[in-house]
Structure 1
Amino acid sequence: AIHGFGLAARYYFGRPVDELRPEEIALLVGMVKGASYYNPRHNPERAKERRDTVLDLMANNGLITPTEAGTLKQKPLGVLKEKGTTSAHPAFLDLVQRQLAQQYNPEDLKTKGLRIFTTLHPSVQASLEQAVGVLSSIEKARKYPADTLQTAGIITSIGTGEVQALVGGRDPTFEGYNRALDAQRQIGSLIKPSIYLTALSNPTKFSLITPLDDSPLTVDQPGSKPWNPENYDRKFLGPTPLYIDLAQSRNVPSIRLGLEVGLDNVADTLHKLGGPEVKPFYPSMLLGSMTMTPFNVAQIYQTLSSDGFYSPLRAIRTVVDAGGRPLSRYPLTVTQVADPNSLYLLQYAMQNVVANGTAASLNKTIPPSVGVAGKTGTTNDSRDAWFAGFTGNRVGVVWVGRDDDKPTSLTGASGALPIWAAAFKNLYNKPRDMTPPKGITFANVDVQQQARVPSQCPGVLMPFMSGFVPRTVIDCQANTNTPNHAPNNQSGDNPLNSILNFFR
């Protein structure tokens, strides 16, 4: 939808409203009565008749002479065949303008000859804009009417917080509602990394292999009916390892985990990562019932990708005056908000989301060697589909849904992930560096038995906080259980640890 004369002037004539001619102004005024009914592209004859009526009214009120009105009626409508735009990337420039407004008077930006140097990466922006075209294929496959779905996306640079690309809707040239910055949507399972990070920050109780209870759950809620949450597949799997629950996005064990670590602690983690301060934090919010914009989500996942270092997302590098003298610089500011060791464990689990979990289809597009880490998100009745993920050099967030908030049949994997994949497949994707920090020890473990096994035995090589590797050792050959009382348990029976320590 087009809201306001300013947008309409650019949409139909490709010029600002103060540059329109009288007959063009008359056309827009006439459309106020019914924008669709008098749409000049769809109903040109009806629109011209309405325009001519307005011209007569202008003459009657002395705004133009009757002679001028007669002359103007002979002119064609003059609307652009294609919708007009004043910039190639209006949604990105909207972000630039909003960040500039925090420091500059809007009038100064128009009259002082200032030059703005932004963080836009043309090839990344082009790839994201091209990727939103996948939405049409999704609609056809689901037999939705054309233009049913909308989307928004943002790609940032890891470490710097620079916004390299941003689209506010399925039409990247549209100058209007910017969903990337303004669409408040429920985030669904994108909240879960905040829950798991809170737990993994307490290694005395939780590791990646800690079993979580996936069985029926009732949550008492004062003042309302008890809540009986379900998993997406309506099944319960019993005790399952923590990293599997995150990879498969299991709802019930995630809720239990959030309740155990404390709702306020989860809310605090979310806020530290760059999310909004949510108070009070209700149990249902453990499934992402709160709303955020894609830009908000990108800020959170920017921090998750940067080993727990928060840096505000920015679209501006510097501002200079007409003479080229710098007026403002937007330097990189970094604050550590999470422990790198617990972040490493979380990233390891999020990598498994793509390797073997709900985002496994991404491996068909992005080579597994890149080691993408991410999280899918789906809200109630599939009203919102999300995917947030990061490679070794970029973070990307994509949302798909409907403006009227009606349900779809899409999940994060079927709705948002294909657009994310299309955007990133044409980019250079630096493989993620999974060299562990000094506080991490790898061990070969039997996940079901919660025990270490010698390297020659079947097991899974998993990272642990140093000093918190499972103490019990199972010898597959002798079939005996032996408690390990080595101080701090640093070795973990992994021959790679000595090599890893050498390079730290």
Structure 2
Amino acid sequence: MYLVIYVGLLGPVPSRAILKARQNHTASEVYSSDNVLLGRYYIQDRTNVSFDNISPAAVKALIATEDARFYNHSGVDFRSLLRVLFKTMLLQEEKSGGGSTISQQLAKNLYPRRQYLILSTPINKLREMIIARRLEGIYSKTEILELYLNTVPMGGDLFGIERAARRFFNTSADSVKTEEAAVLIGMLKATTSYNPRLNLERSRQRRNVVLNQMAKYGYLSPTEADSLKNLPLKLQYRYETHNDGLAPYFREQLRLELVKWCATQLKEDGKPYNLYTDGLKIYTTLHAGMQTHAERSMRKRMARLQSQFDAHWKNRAPWGNNPEVIRAAMRRSKHYQKLKAAGLTEAAIQERFRQPKEMNLFSWRGSLKRTMTPNDSLRYYERFLNTGLLAVEPGTGYVRAWVGGIDHHTFKYDHVRSRRQAGSTFKPIVYTAALERGLTPCTYFPNQLQTYTANNNDTWTPHNADNKYGGEYSMRGALAHSVNTISAQILTETGLEPTIALARRLGIQSALPKVPSLALGTADLSLLELVTAYTTLANKGYRVKPVYIAKITDRNGSVLRQHRPGTGVAKALAPEHAAIMLELLKGVVEEGSANRLRSEFNLTLDIAGKTGTSQDHADGWFIGITPQLVTGVWVGAENPAVRFRTLSLGQGSNTALPIWGEFMARLVRDREFSDWRQSQFPQLPPDLQQQLDCPSFLAEHPEPVIKQASFLDKLFNVFKPKKKERKAQEKEWKRDKHNEKREKGKSRGRFWD
């Protein structure tokens, strides 16, 4: 039978050449720019480590427990084999051991056993002996131990000593303690029965057996073994899925791109790379420190905003009596799509969605265990507001932080790439196009209602958020206070085509409607597009394509792909126009809708930016520029029908801006970025400064000069009734109430920020 197996009549036996070229399936790893492991892509959760990076205690525990004569045989220990055969077959001892050497076990790990009916065990044993002998002829004893400890299954999708040490003890293979190594080696006998998380006491007992074996073969003294056996078994268990860890939305976006990229890259054997098995190292531009601050800022502010939203609506459904909102959510769900793919009718699917079951729900207070129908869970999740955040270095285009949503376990949609109505964040593009067409920053525009006609003869009359009109605004004032009537005028004077052409040069790729309301942001744009456009303004008019992959290497460190700084840079507009726009956007922070960044968040560095609020305040935005970073934030619900009812709560300055402010406040408090606290934009040249030297607003009727009251006038006024003052206050109060009613009943189609 040995000869039959050896020549391959019962199936191929790997040759020495194949064994020498054998490579383990190894996870690909994603690293941040500050060298933090962000995540891994794998089928088998395995990280290969060299023998020098494995604790000697783990090696000693393995040899003492699994193959005491490892250094004295050439792959097959015939003495142990005879002992096992004698005790098993003649003495009928069930616990006599298997007689397999470490080399034979390695053969079994590399080439799993096959079925040969009643002869499966002897055939597989002989096959493993042949492979073990060949392995010993190719590799040294040290290399075999390294191979074994990198391939050994540790339960489920977990393989190798490095990942096992990380999962059970939150340490590395070279730092694992003797008692911890004994636990991990003890698991090899039965990965489920001796799993310390599932069976702590059985695992402790098995650990002590391993420690006894180490003492028996001289790797520990009896005193050391007894001392270690008395220690409690303490775990630091860390099981992370692809949804866990830093930047899960970013890593998923990266995964989708890398799978396509790997399919086009061929290895030496002519096969394409496999992201999940070939052990690639992906070095990204993401900064783990910034990403941590971004995610913490998001969680803090979104939890607070959700509480505000729930109190605002109380027990009422934000979507009112519109059943289509829940029906649309059902059709989007994976559960629905799986049932549809399985061939169920619409009626059958709806019946499934009415059947209660136990489920874990996301909440800002932690996971909730509830029994409810899938329909009820849809209603529960439709009430949640979501967000996206993207931070990019303007000079390099390096993406430093990427937050695609509030929880990747529950909400898979990435709001960095999703398209939503841009609102007033589009206005800086309109203003920049106007500068290119020759309009000057100190050109004054009347704040008055005007009606515009589109190409299809539809008429449109833009209104201001505060319903206040009159006077004249310069560009700075109009942008700072987001005056809709003037943005429409500027677009009309500039023209739709030049504005759209500039948007394309700035990096906007989405469809842009050729209608006058484009001035107020009727286009659906992504956060990635808007941040790219603002980055161009911050980078002296040069557009830099966002970069998030710095380098990719294979498992041996050979570079497969590397970003070259300076590539993807294109001049989009004149530097002087970019500088003027940056100065105009500073006005939004200094005197406009973003002024709370100074008062509430105590930010003293230079900031330029723009808030934005879309139709019926379904979307809130803030894109902020600092000398080192351009960061954009979007906030809204998955369905635009779910929103705040009032402008004061739903506008971007109340929803998106606080996340931005929290993020930047955390950064400047961080020692690594403390020098940002007083950072400033470059000083404008005198000629450009002169172009901006004008008031933001000119009143329609200047205030009359009031004559200084005499002493007798003042004395008389002490006793004069305050009737006029009371009337003025009453008139102001009535006007405020009137405006509040107008806001509650305002017509659709207005853009308020």
Give the whole-Å Cα distance in 2 for the aligned partners of 1:190 and 1:132.
20
Letter in 2 for 1:352: G
Give the whole-Å Cα distance in 2 for the aligned partners of 1:329 and 1:359.
39
CA separation of 1:414/1:82 partners in 2, compared to 1, >3 Å: closer, same or farther? Answer: farther
Which sections of structure 1, spanning at least 5 residues, go unmatched? Answer: 1-13, 25-74, 451-504
Alpha-carbon distance, 1:238 to partner: 3.2
2:560 equivalent in structure 1: 327
Normalised by the size of structure 2, how large is the TM-score? Answer: 0.47
Give the whole-Å Cα distance in 1 for the aligned partners of 2:238 and 2:553.
37
Letter in 1 for 2:605: V
1:205-243 deviation per Cα after TM superposition (whole angstroms, max 9, x unaligned): x22221012111101124353111111112213321111
Letter in 2 for 1:140: S
CA separation of 1:277/1:267 partners in 2, compared to 1, >3 Å: closer, same or farther? Answer: farther
Q: 2:506 aligns with which of 252, 266, 273?
A: 273
2:14 equivalent in structure 1: none
> What SS class does the counterpart of residue 377 from structure 1 fall into?
strand
- When Rg is computed on C-alpha atoms for both structures, the one with the higher figure is 2
Give the whole-Å Cα distance in 2 for the aligned partners of 1:198 and 1:320.
43
Normalised by the size of structure 1, how large is the TM-score? Answer: 0.69
Give the whole-Å Cα distance in 1 for the aligned partners of 2:285 and 2:278.
22
Q: Which moved more, 1:223-232 or 1:159-168?
A: 223-232
2:173 equivalent in structure 1: none
On the 8 A contact 1:218/1:227 being kept in 2, the answer is yes
1:108 equivalent in structure 2: 274
Q: 2:522 aligns with which of 289, 313, 320?
A: 289
1:419 equivalent in structure 2: 659
CA separation of 1:240/1:404 partners in 2, compared to 1, >3 Å: closer, same or farther? Answer: same
Q: 2:690 aligns with which of 422, 442, 448?
A: 442
1:141 equivalent in structure 2: 308
Which sections of structure 2, spanning at least 5 residues, go unmatched? Answer: 1-39, 46-155, 157-197, 199-236, 264-271, 315-362, 364-382, 668-672, 699-753
CA separation of 1:101/1:161 partners in 2, compared to 1, >3 Å: closer, same or farther? Answer: farther
On the 8 A contact 1:90/1:175 being kept in 2, the answer is no
On the 8 A contact 2:613/2:621 being kept in 1, the answer is yes
Alpha-carbon distance, 1:107 to partner: 5.1
User: Are 1:238 and 2:464 matched, yes or no?
Assistant: no
Q: Which moved more, 1:280-289 or 1:136-145?
A: 136-145
1:403-444 deviation per Cα after TM superposition (whole angstroms, max 9, x unaligned): 011132411100000011111111133623232258635379
Q: 1:194 aligns with which of 408, 429, 438?
A: 429
**Per chain length, whose mean CA-contact separation is higher, i.e. which structure has more relative contact order (CA < 8 Å, sep 6+)?**
1
> What SS class does the counterpart of residue 459 from structure 2 fall into?
coil
Pairwise mapping of residues 32-47 of structure 1 onto structure 2 (< 5 A)? none
> What SS class does the counterpart of residue 505 from structure 2 fall into?
helix
Give the whole-Å Cα distance in 1 for the aligned partners of 2:41 and 2:506.
42
Pairwise mapping of residues 306-385 of structure 1 onto structure 2 (< 5 A)? 306-332=539-565, 333=567, 334-367=569-602, 369-385=604-620
> What SS class does the counterpart of residue 452 from structure 2 fall into?
coil
User: Are 1:161 and 2:397 matched, yes or no?
Assistant: yes
1:267-296 deviation per Cα after TM superposition (whole angstroms, max 9, x unaligned): 111111111164552212111111112112
Pairwise CA RMSD of aligned residues? 3.1
Q: 1:125 aligns with which of 291, 295, 301?
A: 291
1:100-125 deviation per Cα after TM superposition (whole angstroms, max 9, x unaligned): 35633285323332211111101100
The structure with the largest strand share of the pair is 1
Give the whole-Å Cα distance in 2 for the aligned partners of 1:15 and 1:81.
17
Letter in 2 for 1:423: F
Give the whole-Å Cα distance in 2 for the aligned partners of 1:444 and 1:229.
27
On the 8 A contact 1:268/1:277 being kept in 2, the answer is no
> What SS class does the counterpart of residue 555 from structure 2 fall into?
coil
Q: Which moved more, 1:366-375 or 1:431-440?
A: 431-440
1:479 equivalent in structure 2: none
Give the whole-Å Cα distance in 1 for the aligned partners of 2:663 and 2:521.
25
2:379 equivalent in structure 1: none
2:227 equivalent in structure 1: none
CA separation of 1:240/1:443 partners in 2, compared to 1, >3 Å: closer, same or farther? Answer: closer
